[in-house]
Amino acid sequence: MKIRYIKYWAFAAVLGMGTVSCEDFLNRPTEDNYNESNFYQNDEQCVQGVNYLYNSPWYDFQRGFIKVGEILSGNVYEGNSPYLNFTVNGTDENLVNMSYSLWAVIGHANTVYTRLKTANASEAVKNQCMGECLAWKAMAYFYLVRSFGAVPIIHDNTDELNSGNYNSKFKVEAADVYEYIIMTLEKAMELLPARGETGRIDRYCAEGLLAKVYLTKSGLSGTRNADDLAKAAEYSKDVINLKSATKLFSVLLASKRP
């Protein structure tokens, strides 16, 4: 009886060790992707986190943008397109893809921005990356409000999920969406460096976009709002007179010469 008892516990111990070993084998760390618990631990990872906003989520945007921006305006002819005769509706595949793409940009920008706040990185890089997130978010909302008018505002993903109201968000009037875009760009300008790395958003990129936002907003009510026009002129002049941009403009002009 005693020998049988010892054998039982020996078998149980071996079985337990095997189970633990299997769990250790199956619980392998992710090697081909990142997760939030162990990412944003240095400057490089912060930059990698925001790099996604420069590419992938914008992919489907181009499908609807060409329709809305070119065919709807009459710049491009596409037969009997509903965009050409103004009969397009909300079920149009290109329009839906465009909308999904812009909301993907906003969602990712919100997520990365939140994670960057507590990132284990230098303040300079954190601020730069947070500013880039805000600039891309503002750009996405700028396209949304011009294409659809009133749209919901998603300021923080976590707050929206915790509230439980994410499936019943109300639209915000276009005028208020513009104010949100302006607020977002002003914050981006505070965070972004005056001169960023080649190919990356800097303070003057955000300021140039802000000028265009004010210019567009000036005609929202059907009249040319003088205050908005003055702001558009102020920010535009600041960017145009930027000494470091002189070379950029000269290159652009040279490319147009025969």
Q: Give mean pLDDT, residues 148-156.
A: 92
Q: Which pLDDT value is given to residue 23?
A: 56
Domain edges within the chain? 36-192
3-state SS class at 64: helix
Q: Which pLDDT value is given to residue 237?
A: 93
For 120, list phi and psi in degrees, rounded to 5: -90, 75
Q: Report pLDDT digits (tens) over 23-68.
A: 555 566 556 566 666 788 888 989 999 999 998 888 888 878 888 8
Q: Which pLDDT value is given to residue 257?
A: 57
Q: Could you write out the DSSP letters of every residue in 136-168?
A: HHHHHHHHHHHHHSSB-----HHHHHHHT-TTS
Confirm or reject CATH 1.25.40.890 for domain 36-192, answering yes or no.
Answer: yes
3-state SS class at 254: helix
Q: What is the pTM of this model?
A: 0.81
- Tell me if 232 sits within 8 A of 208, measured CB to CB: no
Q: Which pLDDT value is given to residue 79?
A: 81
CA 49/CA 96 separation, integer angstroms: 26
CB atoms within 10 A of CB 179: 13
Q: Give mean pLDDT, residues 113-142.
A: 94
* Percentage of the chain lying above the pLDDT 90 cut: 45
150 CB-contact burial (10 Å; exposed 0-12 / middle 13-18 / buried 19+): middle
Question: Which is nearest to 36 in space by CA: 111, 91, 102?
Answer: 111
- Tell me if 155 sits within 8 A of 172, measured CB to CB: no
Q: Is the pLDDT of residue 163 over 60?
A: yes
From residue 47, alpha-carbon distances to 43, 85, 112, 157, 181 in Å are: 6, 44, 10, 20, 23
Q: Is the pLDDT of residue 109 over 90?
A: yes
